[in-house]
């Protein structure tokens, strides 16, 4: 058993000019989480810190720089799971919290599992998390994309139309020195999404899951399809009988495509500290490091 950490920065048709920012942003996040693990910190702390780093990076569709909804607002979703206790915390539709993963952590530590919108923001204030103006989350690049979408609205999607151009959801899975597994996911959601739309990212079992007995997973991609197959839980359960996380990740994405025509990616770490990932989109930003490696490996 060894410590391990893997992050993703979204799966989709990441454009050439965005490859380097995604790759380096994922690398920085992994390095931040790894420092916590190597100094004896918990998997939960490492996941939270790595996700915060990506929420603060405008390269990703999470936190600052998220896609705007059809009304020009940022709505954020996030989740965090503790494989030791199976405790989980999630938030959705949050508009005035800079780092929704921090709020998800506070929910995990409370009597609740999932809070949304205004109620989640009220809870944030009770826990000492400052609320910000939504404008602080909107970048000039995303405002321009929103204007383009408003001028030429995307065609409605169906189970037969597979969107791959969205990207940037972030996630992390970590295994600490005590063998505890944690996983987290954070997103601004689909580009020009309907107000109130929630994808897989804050849904426990769909976009995120962790269980010390098996491992942890974080998903990214077409949220409606990922939700239908409960992808993260499907993958973690498939780690049983000491299966290789690399093979499990591939099998999970094949299942996503075969069963519901879904596109996306997944990262995994098992209870032994082995990692795996797979995606069926043109690209997926990711970075990882396990005990014995000299430095973080990153790609996109």
| pLDDT tens by residue, 88-135 | 999 999 999 999 999 999 999 999 999 999 999 999 999 999 999 999
pTM for the model = 0.96
Rg (CA), the chain: 17
| Annotated active-site residue in 81, 169, 185, 187 | 169
Contact 141, 65 (CB under 8 A): yes
Q: Please give the average per-residue pLDDT across 199-224, as a whole number.
A: 97
Instruction: Give yes or no for residue 267 having a pLDDT over 60.
Output: yes
CA pair distance 23, 299, nearest whole angstrom: 5
Q: What is the pLDDT of residue 156?
A: 63
Q: What is the pLDDT of residue 168?
A: 79
Is 169 an active-site residue?
A: yes
CA pair distance 236, 95, nearest whole angstrom: 31
Q: What is the pLDDT of residue 164?
A: 45
Q: What is the pLDDT of residue 152?
A: 87
What digits encode the pLDDT tens for the residues 2-56?
A: 999 999 999 998 999 999 999 999 999 999 999 999 999 999 999 999 999 999 9
If we measure between CA atoms, which residue out of 53, 68, 190 comes closest to residue 134? Answer: 68
Q: What is the mean pLDDT of the chain?
A: 95
Q: What is the pLDDT of residue 161?
A: 43
CA pair distance 123, 138, nearest whole angstrom: 23
CA pair distance 2, 43, nearest whole angstrom: 12
CATH code of 4-154+165-299, in short, is 3.60.20.30
Structure tokens at 41: 């910190």
Q: What is the pLDDT of residue 2?
A: 93
Helix (H) or strand (E) holding 26: helix 16-38
Residue extents of the structural domains in the chain: 4-154+165-299
If we measure between CA atoms, which residue out of 297, 223, 212 comes closest to residue 266? Answer: 223
Q: What is the pLDDT of residue 167?
A: 65
CA pair distance 5, 42, nearest whole angstrom: 11
Q: What is the pLDDT of residue 162?
A: 44
What digits encode the pLDDT tens for the residues 151-179?
A: 988 776 544 444 445 567 999 999 999 99
Confidence category of residue 1, pLDDT binned at 50, 70, 90: confident
Which residues of 68-122 form beta strands (DSSP E)?
76-82, 88-94, 114-116
The fraction of the chain above a pLDDT of 90, given in percent, is 93
β-sheet bridge partners, residue 181: 175
If we measure between CA atoms, which residue out of 185, 194, 76, 84 comes closest to residue 137? Answer: 76
Instruction: Give yes or no for residue 297 having a pLDDT over 80.
Output: yes
Q: What is the pLDDT of residue 35?
A: 98
């Amino acid at each position: 058993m060894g410590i391990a950490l893997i992050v993703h920065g979204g799966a989709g048709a990441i454009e050439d000019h965005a490859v380097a920012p995604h790759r380096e942003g994922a690398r920085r996040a992994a390095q931040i989480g790894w420092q916590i693990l190597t100094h004896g910190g918990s998997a939960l702390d490492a996941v939270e810190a790595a996700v915060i780093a990506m929420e603060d990076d405008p390269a990703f569709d999470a936190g600052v720089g998220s896609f705007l909804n059809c009304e020009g607002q940022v709505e954020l979703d996030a989740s965090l799971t503790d494989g030791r206790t199976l405790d989980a915390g999630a938030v959705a539709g949050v508009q005035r919290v800079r780092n929704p993963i921090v709020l998800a952590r506070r929910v995990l530590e409370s009597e609740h599992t999932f809070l949304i919108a205004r109620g989640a923001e009220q809870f944030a204030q009770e826990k000492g998390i400052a609320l910000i103006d939504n404008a602080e989350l909107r970048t000039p690049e995303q405002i321009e994309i929103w204007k383009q979408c408003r001028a030429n609205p995307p065609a409605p999607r169906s189970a037969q139309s597979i969107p791959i151009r969205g990207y940037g959801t972030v996630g992390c899975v970590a295994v600490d020195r005590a063998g505890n597994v944690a996983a987290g996911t954070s997103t601004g959601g689909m580009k020009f999404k309907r107000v109130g739309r929630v994808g897989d990212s804050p849904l426990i079992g769909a976009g995120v899951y962790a269980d010390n007995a098996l491992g942890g997973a974080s998903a990214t991609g077409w949220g409606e399809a990922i939700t239908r197959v409960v992808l993260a839980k499907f993958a973690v359960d498939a780690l049983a009988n000491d299966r290789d996380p690399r093979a499990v990740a591939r099998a999970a994405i094949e299942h996503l495509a075969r069963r519901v025509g879904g596109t996306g990616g997944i990262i995994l770490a098992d209870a032994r500290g082995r990692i795996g990932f797979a995606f069926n989109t043109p690209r997926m930003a990711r970075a990882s490091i396990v005990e014995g490696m000299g430095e973080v490996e990153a790609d996109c």
